[in-house]
A = this chain, B = another copy of it.
């Protein structure tokens, strides 16, 4: 039995050092996918891995893979997450998973420890989906959920395509998408919810991910003067949008533990004395039960019809993303549970409320996740906070679970 321990100071330093790339005055990070800040942090990771003698390859959609060879020529055990953030993101979402993976590589390297299977650190492209919808695009292409042409054609709100942005920062690699097969994948991540903190658990043993669906709605009414257009003759697209925003909230509350959010709204022409002629808005529905999502979706479609009728609007509604509920690999889930027990850390089983690259990878390889708490359950927020001790515990559980799995599959190293 090994007694390798990660270096929590080194892990914390790498988190704080990279947090400066796109860092915001409020202590968060604004590092949207495929921006120059994304390029800088990718360059940082590449050189850190190469310093350890790892080979770094990049695939056609920018996913980065750093391999540390093992004793056997078998598919590698993968760890990692993503380094892109929300426009007002925090220092830990995704980043902890990648940098804890780097810390594993450094710990093994320092100890001269040889695993049976190769170890592979992964940085997935455009996980957040904030600049390019849908989310988890890089891992989705890797898992065959999307094809490469679809990814390349995604556009941001300024009309720049994913492919253009990827070429612009020089991270379109030669590796064919999906050519890097995993024997298993472990993703460490902050919970992004309030449960672990509320129950004072150090570790979340993640058994699956809830189902998620995204929608885009475009409403078209008629621009007109706010002063001289009687209420009865108006076709106000924003009034219709307000009905939909209220209904999304009501639909979610009617289907616990489901959640529903309108996060993005664009009004045209957006002038205080012009009746809005155009509104674009997005809807995000999530529920652990796919059948409940079907019901919520039906209610949304009915709401949009009704809002359009009531305000005399044309409307276009489409589902732009559908990620079914996921159950993680029981053997890997056990490995995480054993690791937490072995380290004497408190834990509970949990279903992820957020989407993660692991949800797609689970379609093509045994996969699971490890959660650590974040203050107030706050994420996608510059105030997002996970402590030094919580990061240390998560990284140590990740290391123990990986080595446990490596031994059980391939014999004691």
B228 & A239 in contact (Cβ 8 Å cutoff): no
Give CA–CA (A282, B270) in the complex, Å.
10
Given contacts A264-B270, A272-B129, contact A286 B226 (CB under 8 A): yes
A263's partner among B133, B263, B274 (CB-CB below 8 A) is: B274
A193's partner among B228, B260, B378 (CB-CB below 8 A) is: B228
- Per-residue interface assignment for chain A, residues 183 to 213, with 1 indicating a CB less than 8 Å from any chain B CB and 0 otherwise: 0000000011110000000000000001010
Closest to A157 in B: B270
Given contacts A253-B231, A263-B273, A267-B264, contact A284 B379 (CB under 8 A): no
Query: Which of A4-12, A76-84, A336-344, A351-359 lines the interface with chain B?
Result: A351-359
Give CA–CA (A364, B98) in the complex, Å.
70
Given contacts A239-B249, A275-B263, contact A193 B286 (CB under 8 A): no
Q: Which residues of B contact A212 (CB under 8 A)?
A: 227
Give CA–CA (A410, B14) in the complex, Å.
86
Q: Which residues of B contact A268 (CB under 8 A)?
A: 88
A86 within 8 A of B: yes
CB distance from A105 to the nearest CB of B (A): 28
| Residues of A in contact with B (beta carbons under 8 Å apart) | 86-88, 128-130, 133, 135, 191-194, 210, 212, 214, 222-231, 233, 236, 238-239, 241-243, 245-246, 249, 252-253, 256-257, 259-277, 282, 284, 286, 352-355, 377-381
Q: Which residues of B contact A226 (CB under 8 A)?
A: 259, 261, 263, 284, 286, 380
A259's partner among B231, B241, B256, B266 (CB-CB below 8 A) is: B231
Closest to A215 in B: B272
A261 & B245 in contact (Cβ 8 Å cutoff): no
CB distance from A87 to the nearest CB of B (A): 5
Closest 9 CB pairs of A and B: A228-B353, A193-B228, A242-B245, A272-B282, A227-B354, A226-B261, A242-B242, A225-B379, A274-B380
CB distance from A191 to the nearest CB of B (A): 7
Closest to A351 in B: B228
B224 & A378 in contact (Cβ 8 Å cutoff): yes
Q: Which residues of B contact A192 (CB under 8 A)?
A: 225, 227-228
Give CA–CA (A26, B39) in the complex, Å.
40
A228 & B352 in contact (Cβ 8 Å cutoff): yes
Given contacts A252-B231, A377-B228, contact A273 B135 (CB under 8 A): yes
Closest to A354 in B: B227
B259 & A263 in contact (Cβ 8 Å cutoff): no
CB distance from A265 to the nearest CB of B (A): 5
Q: Which residues of B contact A380 (CB under 8 A)?
A: 223-226, 271, 273-275
CB distance from A288 to the nearest CB of B (A): 11
Q: Which residues of B contact A214 (CB under 8 A)?
A: 272
Give CA–CA (A278, B277) in the complex, Å.
23
Given contacts A231-B249, A377-B228, A379-B228, contact A270 B274 (CB under 8 A): no
Q: Which residues of B contact A133 (CB under 8 A)?
A: 272
Closest to A264 in B: B272
CB distance from A249 to the nearest CB of B (A): 5
